[in-house]
C-alpha cells in the first residue's frame, strides 16, 4: 500500500481509507516524444504500404483524452483480396519452400527488433488503447517479443514437436485480433503461423491498430520476404471479408463470443480450419487457509489488470464464508489505494477504458448490478474530465444467478460470492457458459490438485493469477472457444499432420 494515503482508524476496528489528493504521487509521465506516430497509415500488403482501394480511412484516438492520434486505412473486400493473393503467392513461391532454419532467423530478427523498440511500442500501446504504461512496458511488449523468440525456436524442430509425423503448413492464415492486448495478440497469432510455414493476413482491432502497423514497419525492415505477413486495418466488415475469402485456409480469431459464433457459422461447409478464443468469466476461489494478504493482491491483479479488459480476468470471486468479512474489508481498502488516471504515468494502476462503446457496456452492467439489488462499493478516486474512465468497483453478496456473475463485463468490476464446501464451489465455479481460466488460493497442495481436476477451465492458476508464458498453452472450454495458443499446443492449429 502506498504510504501516500491518509488512514482514518475508526473505533470499530475497520480501517477506512480516504482518498486524499494532497498526498498523491507527483506525476511521472513517460515521454510521448519517444514515439513516432504517422498522420496516416496505409495497408501493409506484399511488403509495401499501399493506398486502400476503398479510398477510406478512419480515425484512431487516445481514450485517455479523446484526441485523434492518426488515421488508418479501412480495407474493403477488394483490399483483403489483394492481401490474400500476396499471402498465397508468398506461400507458394517462397515461404513453404524455405528451409525451416532460415524461417527461424526471420522470426528471431522480428523478436529482437520488437525488443529494441520496446519503449516506443509501449508508449504507443498505452496511447492508442488506454492501458497503463507499467503494463505495456513490463508485460505486453516483452511478452510479445518472447512469443516471437519462443516460436522461432520451434521452427526447425517440428519433428520433435510431433515425433514420427510429417508436418505440413496449412497455407494462408486469416487472423483477427481484439483491442485488449493489441501487439501481444498480433504476436500470439503471427509467431506460430510463421514458425510452421504459413503466411498471414492479419487485421488489428479498429480502436487499437497502431502497434500492429508499427509491427508492419518492423517486419518490412526485418527483410521478411514480401507477402509473408500482410496487415490490413479495418472494422467488422474487414474481418468478415477475411473470414469469407475463399482462398484462406485457416481463421484464428480472438474477440467476443458473439462474433466468434458468427464466424463459425460463416465458415460452416468450407474446409477452413478455425481456432476461437472468446470471452470468459473466471472464478477465483479463496479458501480459509489461503494466505489472505497475498490473495488480496492476486484478486486485485486478477480483476483490475488492464482495466479488466482481459478475457481471463478473475471477475467472479468465491470466498469461503469464514474469511469473507475480513477479505472483503481488505479488498475495499485496497481498491481505494489504486491510482486511476493518465495511462502514460508510471504510477498509474488503472488507465482509460478502451472506448466509449466499452465504457457504455460497463456502465450498463453497473446499473444492472444495482437494479438486481447488490451492494456496490466503488473507489472514491477523482477521474479526469476528458476520456473514458471507470472507478474500480466491487459488488458483494452476489447471487450465482445474477447477470453480473454470469456475463462478461470486461471492465474493472468484481462480483463477490461466498461458499462453504469444496463441492459447492466447484459446482458454482463451473456453472457458467464460459471456461477460459480460474484461480484457486489455498495452503494445501492436495486441494489444488483435487480442485483443478474438476474445474472446466483452460488455465487454472494456483496462489497466483494472470501469469503468462509463451511455453504455456492458453485457451478455453465451452463458449470461451477452442484451440490452444502458446506452447507446443499452439503449433497444432497451424499444421496438417501425416504419416
Ligand atoms: P469484437 O468481437 O466485435 O471485436 C474483436 C475483433 O473482431 C475486432 O478486430 C473486430 O473488428 C472484429 N470483428 C467484428 N465483427 C466481425 C465480424 N463480423 N467478422 C469478423 N471480424 C469481426 O469485440 P468488441 O465489440 O470490440 O467487444 C465486445 C465484447 O467482446 C467486449 O465487451 C468483451 O466482452 C468481448 N471481448 C473479448 C475479448 C477477448 O479477449 N476474448 C477481446 C475483445 C472483446
Ligand atoms: Mg485508439
> What CATH code is carried by the domain that includes residue 313?
3.40.309.10
Does one domain contain both 358 and 314? yes
In angstroms, the CA 154 to CA 156 distance is 6
Q: How many residues does the chain have?
A: 499
Q: Quick count: other Cβ atoms within 10 Å of Cβ 36? A: 10
> Distance (Å, rounded) from C-alpha 190 to C-alpha 193?
5
Count how many domains the chain has: 2
Task: Indicate whether 289 belongs to any domain.
Answer: yes
304 and 385 assigned to the same domain: yes
Handedness of CA 92, 97, 98, 103 (dihedral sign): positive
Q: Tens-of-pLDDT digits for all 499 residues of the chain? A: 444 444 444 444 433 446 565 667 899 999 999 999 999 999 999 999 999 999 999 999 999 999 999 999 999 999 999 999 999 999 999 999 999 999 999 999 999 999 999 999 999 999 999 999 999 999 999 999 999 999 999 999 999 999 999 999 999 999 999 999 999 999 999 999 999 999 999 999 999 999 999 999 999 999 999 999 999 999 999 999 999 999 999 999 999 999 999 999 999 999 999 999 999 999 999 999 999 999 999 999 999 999 999 999 999 999 999 999 999 999 999 999 999 999 999 999 999 999 999 999 999 999 999 999 999 999 999 999 999 999 999 999 999 999 999 999 999 999 999 999 999 999 999 999 999 999 999 999 999 999 999 999 999 999 999 999 999 999 999 989 989 999 999 999 999 999 8
Q: What angle do CA 457, 206, 48 make, to 5 degrees?
A: 110
Say whether both 250 and 199 belong to one domain.
Answer: yes
Identify whether 311 is a catalytic site residue: yes
Q: Do 271 and 286 fall into the same domain?
A: no
Q: Please check whether residue 469 lies inside any domain of the structure.
A: no
Q: According to the model, what pLDDT value does residue 425 have?
A: 97
pLDDT value at residue 24: 78
Residue 290 lies in a domain: yes
Q: Are residues 287 and 238 part of one domain?
A: no
Nearest protein CA to atom 43 of ligand 1, as residue? 255
CA–CA separation, 316 and 336 (whole Å): 19
Q: Cα 415 to the chain's mean position, in Å? A: 20
Atom of ligand 1 nearest to the CA of 481: 41
The pTM of the full predicted model, rounded to 2 decimals, is 0.95
Q: How far, in Å, from the CA of 356 to the mean position of ligand 2?
A: 11
Distance 63 CA to ligand 2 centre (A): 6
Q: How far is CA 52 from the centre of its chain?
A: 28
**What is the pairing mode between strands 250-254 and 273-277?**
parallel
Residue 449 CB burial class (10 angstroms; 0-12, 13-18, ≥19): exposed
Please state the separation of Cα 198 from the chain's center in Å.
Answer: 23
Q: Whose CA is nearest to atom 36 of ligand 1?
A: 256
* Domain housing 415: 280-462
Asked if the structure places residue 376 within a domain, the reply is: yes
Say if strands 43-45 and 48-50 run parallel, antiparallel, or are unpaired: antiparallel
Whether 467 is covered by a domain: the verdict is no
CATH number at residue 80: 3.40.605.10
The pLDDT tens digits for 49-65 are 999 999 999 999 999 99
CA of 203, nearest ligand number: 1
Closest-approaching ligand to the CA atom of 259:
1
Residues 403 and 452 in one domain: yes
CA–CA separation, 87 vs 2, rounded Å? 51
Q: What is the structure's pLDDT at 218? A: 98
* Closest among 309, 293, 280, 310 to 441, alpha carbons compared: 293
Check whether residue 105 and residue 215 sit in a common domain: yes
The answer on 451 and 340 residing in a single domain is yes
- Which atom of ligand 1 is least distant from the CA of 258? 2
Q: Which of 71, 135, 206, 311 is catalytic?
A: 311
Candidate from 60, 74, 178 with most ligand 1 atoms within 8 A of CB, to mutate: 178
Pair (202, 307) in one structural domain: no
**Domain-embedded: residue 341:** yes
pLDDT at 499: 87
Ligand 1 atom nearest 207 alpha carbon: 26
Q: Does residue 312 have an active-site annotation?
A: no
Q: How far apart are CA 165 and CA 159, in angstroms?
A: 7
**Minimum-distance ligand to the CA of 204?**
1
C-alpha 200/C-alpha 224 separation (Å) is: 12
- In terms of domains, do 273 and 367 share one? no
Closest ligand 1 atom to Cα of 185: 40
Does the residue 128 lie in any domain?
Answer: yes
Q: Is residue 5 part of a domain?
A: no
- CA of 260 from ligand 1 middle (Å) equals 8
CA atoms within 13 A on the CB side of 381: 25
- Phi first, then psi: give them for residue 410, nearest 5 degrees: 60, 45
Atom index in ligand 1 nearest the CA of residue 259 equals: 2
> Are both 254 and 299 inside the same structural domain?
no
Dump pLDDT digits (tens) for 322-370. 999 999 999 999 999 999 999 999 999 999 999 999 999 999 999 999 9
d(CA 193, CA 179): 20
Within 6 A (CB) of ligand 1 lie 176-180, 203, 205-206, 235-236, 239-240, 243, 254-256, 259, 262-263, 277-279, 311, 358, 361, 408, 410
Q: Are residues 401 and 257 in the same domain?
A: no
Distance between CA 197 and CA 158 in Å, rounded?
A: 11
Q: Which residue minimizes the CA distance to atom 9 of ligand 1? A: 205
Report the mean per-residue pLDDT for the chain. 94
Residue nearest to atom 27 of ligand 1 (CA): 256
Amino acid at each position: 500500500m502506498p504510504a501516500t494515503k491518509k488512514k482514518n482508524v475508526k473505533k470499530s476496528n475497520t480501517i477506512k481509507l480516504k482518498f486524499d489528493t494532497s498526498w498523491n504521487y507527483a506525476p511521472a509521465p513517460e515521454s510521448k516524444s519517444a514515439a513516432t506516430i504517422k498522420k496516416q497509415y496505409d495497408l501493409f500488403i506484399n511488403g509495401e504500404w499501399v493506398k486502400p482501394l476503398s479510398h477510406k480511412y478512419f480515425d484512431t484516438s487516445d481514450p485517455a483524452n479523446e484526441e485523434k492520434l492518426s488515421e488508418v486505412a479501412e480495407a474493403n473486400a477488394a483490399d483483403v483480396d489483394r492481401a490474400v493473393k500476396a499471402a498465397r503467392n508468398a506461400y507458394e513461391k517462397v515461404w513453404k519452400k524455405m528451409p525451416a532454419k532460415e524461417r527461424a532467423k526471420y522470426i528471431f530478427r522480428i523478436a529482437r527488433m520488437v525488443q529494441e523498440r520496446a519503449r516506443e511500442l509501449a508508449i504507443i500501446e498505452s496511447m492508442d488503447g488506454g492501458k497503463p504504461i507499467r503494463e505495456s512496458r513490463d508485460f505486453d511488449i516483452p511478452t510479445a517479443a518472447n512469443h516471437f523468440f519462443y516460436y522461432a525456436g520451434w521452427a526447425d524442430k517440428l519433428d520433435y514437436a510431433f515425433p514420427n509425423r510429417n508436418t505440413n503448413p496449412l497455407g494462408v492464415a486469416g487472423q483477427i485480433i481484439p483491442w485488449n492486448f493489441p501487439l501481444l495478440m498480433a504476436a500470439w497469432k503471427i509467431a506460430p503461423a510463421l514458425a510452421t510455414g504459413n503466411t498471414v493476413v492479419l487485421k488489428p482491432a479498429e480502436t487499437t491498430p497502431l502497434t500492429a502497423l508499427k509491427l508492419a514497419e518492423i517486419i518490412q525492415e526485418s527483410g521478411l520476404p514480401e507477402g509473408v505477413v500482410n496487415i490490413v486495418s479495418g472494422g467488422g466488415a474487414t474481418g468478415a471479408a477475411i473470414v469469407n475469402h475463399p482462398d484462406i485456409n485457416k481463421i484464428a480469431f480472438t474477440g467476443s463470443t458473439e462474433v466468434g459464433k458468427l464466424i463459425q457459422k460463416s465458415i460452416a461447409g468450407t474446409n477452413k480450419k478455425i481456432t476461437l478464443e472468446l470471452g470468459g468469466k473466471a472464478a477465483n476461489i479463496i479458501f480459509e487457509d489461503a494466505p489472505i494478504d497475498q490473495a488480496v493482491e492476486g484478486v486485485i491483479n486478477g480483476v483490475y489488470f488492464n482495466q479488466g479488459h482481459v478475457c481471463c480476468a478473475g471477475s467472479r470471486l468465491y470466498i469461503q464464508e469464514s474469511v469473507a468479512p475480513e477479505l472483503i474489508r481488505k479488498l475495499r481498502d485496497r481498491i481505494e489505494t489504486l491510482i486511476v488516471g493518465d495511462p502514460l504515468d508510471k504510477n498509474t494502476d488503472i488507465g482509460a477504458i478502451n472506448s466509449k462503446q466499452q465504457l457504455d457496456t460497463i456502465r450498463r452492467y453497473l446499473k444492472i448490478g444495482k437494479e438486481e439489488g447488490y451492494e456496490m462499493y466503488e473507489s472514491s478516486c477523482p477521474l479526469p474530465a476528458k476520456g473514458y474512465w471507470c472507478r474500480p468497483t466491487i459488488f458483494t453478496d452476489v447471487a450465482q444467478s445474477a447477470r453480473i456473475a454470469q456475463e462478461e463485463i470486461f471492465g474493472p468490476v468484481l462480483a463477490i460470492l461466498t461458499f462453504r464446501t469444496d463441492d459447492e464451489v466447484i459446482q458454482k465455479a463451473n456453472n457458467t457458459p464460459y471456461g477460459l481460466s480460474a484461480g484457486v488460493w489455498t495452503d494445501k497442495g492436495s486441494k489444488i490438485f483435487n480442485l483443478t481436476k474438476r474445474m472446466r477451465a483452460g488455465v487454472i492458476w494456483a496462489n497466483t493469477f494472470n501469469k503468462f508464458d509463451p511455453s504455456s498453452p492458453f485457451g478455453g472450454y465451452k463458449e470461451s472457444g477452442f484451440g490452444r495458443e502458446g506452447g507446443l499446443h499452439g503449433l497444432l492449429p497451424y499444421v496438417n499432420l501425416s504419416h
